[in-house]
Each structure stands twice: as C-alpha cells, then as structure tokens.
Amino acid sequence: MNIIELEKINKEYYTKDGSFTALKDITFCIQEGECVILRGISGSGKTTLLSILAGLDRPTSGKITVDGEDIAKLPDIHLSHFRGHHIGMVFQHYNLLEHLSVTENIITPLIPMKITPQEAYKRAKEKMEIANISHKADMDTNRLSGGEKQRVAIARALIADPKIILCDEPTANLDRANAKRFTDIIKKLIDIGKTVVIATHDPLFWESDLDIRIIDIEDAKIVADSKVEV
Ligand SMILES: Nc1ncnc2c1ncn2[C@@H]1O[C@H](COP(=O)(O)OP(=O)(O)OP(=O)(O)O)[C@@H](O)[C@H]1O
Ligand SMILES: [Mg+2]
C-alpha cells in the first residue's frame, strides 16, 4: 500500500531577486514500511521536499497524499493536527527544549492531545527503550552528548505513534559510532512497521545493512530511483 504519493510537485521560492525553483516535477510513491533515502548535494532540494512531506510547507503546485489525505488542500489548523498524529520529525539540530528533562521533552508533542499524564509517561518509557535513552530519562537535555540528544529526538518523534518518520541529515553532527547506532535504531523502526524517509549525503546509509531505496535529487529534480538490498 502506498502511504505517500507525490504527483508533479513543484516548489518555487519567491525572493526579491526573482523566483527560484527548489523542486521540479517530483513524482513518486512510498510504500508503507519502506526506508527511503533522499540523496543529493547541498542545495538540491532535500529539506524542501521533507518539509512538504511533513506538511510544514506547501507545494506551489502538484498533489501530495499522505496516508490517504490530500495534505496540500488541508487548512493550516487541520494540517498541524494531521502532522501531530501521522508524522514524526527528527531535525538536524534536534530542536530540544534544553532546560527540560529527557522525559519532558519526549512527551511535549502529546500536550495538545487528550492523553493522561500516566499514559504519556508510560509511552515515553516505551519510546526511550526503542531509542536506547532510558538510562538518561531524568537528565536535563543540555547535559547530553550529541548522540544522546538525537536519541531523545527519535523517542519524541515516536511518541504519538506516527506511521511515518522523517529525518533531515540525521548523522551530520554525530561521530561514526553514534551514526552507526542511529542506523541500528532505524532498523528497529522498520522492523516495527514504520515508514522512514531520510535526507542525507552520508555514505553510511548505503554502506549499511539496511534495505533501502535511494532517490537521487539533483538541481530540484529526481535523477535516479533504485532499491539497495542486502
Ligand atoms: N525560504 C527560501 N527562500 C528562498 N530560497 C530557498 C528557501 N529555502 C530554500 N531555498 C533554496 O532552495 C534550494 C534547496 O534548498 P534545500 O534546503 O531544500 O536544500 P538541501 O538539499 O536540503 O541542502 P543541504 O544539504 O545543504 O541541507 C537552495 O538553493 C536554497 O537556497
Ligand atoms: Mg537540507
């Protein structure tokens, strides 16, 4: 089943120097449970594409369906609700609240939802186990190492049980040992049925033992799409 469908997605940015095409005629589908790498050099359009998949930005034209919902047409208020329940995002700089504890950071996405504190803490425990960060549950996040901060960001992305996890340059700020641990967590997520999309140019992913599909982006366009099986 296709969980994500993009049809002729275009994104133009309008600046004082004129318009700039960041995505051109992007068409592809992602099946539920796939691990997809968006690969391309700096400026090729990876973050723009992830933002559109996440519903954080809207395409200039084209159709995007995520889990059966035509998200380009959803009004902002419904879009943020949709995102909260369907999408988990791991940002390059993690975007954690530094003076809150690991557990507090992880449960923040649940605040707008009608979930009891008991249930929120139970879920946080579960997600911390998946992300291997349970041993730091009560520590303030400003004391954590880069790899640990990222694992908090992963647990937070999982807290509302979204089907889709999007990661932007997840290993850019990690040493190799932590980057490898990240790919191990991604493997766990695929094993529990999540759909994962990662924007990266880190060879670690295509040299790892993950079953991945690589979509190559160059100058705002898809130039290749291939499956790498191990
Ligand atoms: N808000 C904006 N206004 C104008 N141009 C933008 C805007 N956001 C991105 N761009 C341009 O769109 C292009 C694609 O940017 P994007 O951030 O998607 O690239 P990227 O592939 O993620 O690069 P990197 O690997 O450096 O993160 C770049 O040339 C960028 O300058
Ligand atoms: Mg980027």
230 vs 133, 167, 186, 199, CA distance in Å? 28, 22, 15, 20
- Provide the pLDDT for residue 44: 96
β strands within the chain, DSSP E: 2-15, 18-31, 35-39, 61-66, 69-70, 87-90, 164-168, 195-200, 212-218, 221-228
- Provide the pLDDT for residue 34: 97
- 81 in contact with ligand 1, CB cutoff 6 A: no
User: Beta 212-218 vs 35-39: how paired, if at all?
Assistant: parallel
Per-residue burial over 101-124, b if 16 or more Cβ lie within 10 Å, else e, is: bbbbbbbebbeeeebeeeebeebb
Q: Is the pLDDT of residue 133 over 90?
A: yes
Ligand 1 center to 136 CA (angstroms): 35
Q: Is the pLDDT of residue 125 over 80?
A: yes
User: Beta 35-39 vs 195-200: how paired, if at all?
Assistant: parallel
Ligand 1 center to 93 CA (angstroms): 16
Question: Which residue bears the tokens 């889709």?
Answer: 164
Q: Residue 221: which of 30, 24, 49 has the closest Cα? A: 24
Give the whole-angstrom CA distance, residue 118 versus residue 207: 41
Q: How do residues 68-113 score in pLDDT, each as one tens digit?
A: 999 988 999 899 999 999 999 998 888 999 999 999 999 999 998 9
- 39 in contact with ligand 1, CB cutoff 6 A: no
Ligand 1 atom 12 nearest Cα: 22
- Provide the pLDDT for residue 228: 86
Give the whole-angstrom CA distance, residue 56 versus residue 102: 25
Ligand 2 center to 120 CA (angstroms): 32
Q: How do residues 2-55 score in pLDDT, each as one tens digit?
A: 999 999 999 999 999 999 999 999 999 999 999 999 999 999 999 999 999 999
Choose which residue among 9, 10, 12, 13 to substitute to test ligand 1 binding: the one with the highest number of ligand atoms within 8 A of its C-beta.
13
Q: How do residues 174-224 score in pLDDT, each as one tens digit?
A: 889 989 999 999 999 999 999 999 999 999 999 988 999 999 999 999 999
- Provide the pLDDT for residue 92: 85
Give the whole-angstrom CA distance, residue 67 versus residue 71: 9
- 200 in contact with ligand 1, CB cutoff 6 A: no
Ligand nearest to the CA of 51: 1
User: Beta 2-15 vs 18-31: how paired, if at all?
Assistant: antiparallel
β strands within 40-106, DSSP E: 61-66, 69-70, 87-90
Ligand nearest to the CA of 16: 1
The CATH number of the structural domain formed by 2-228 is 3.40.50.300
- Provide the pLDDT for residue 229: 74
Ligand 1 center to 161 CA (angstroms): 29
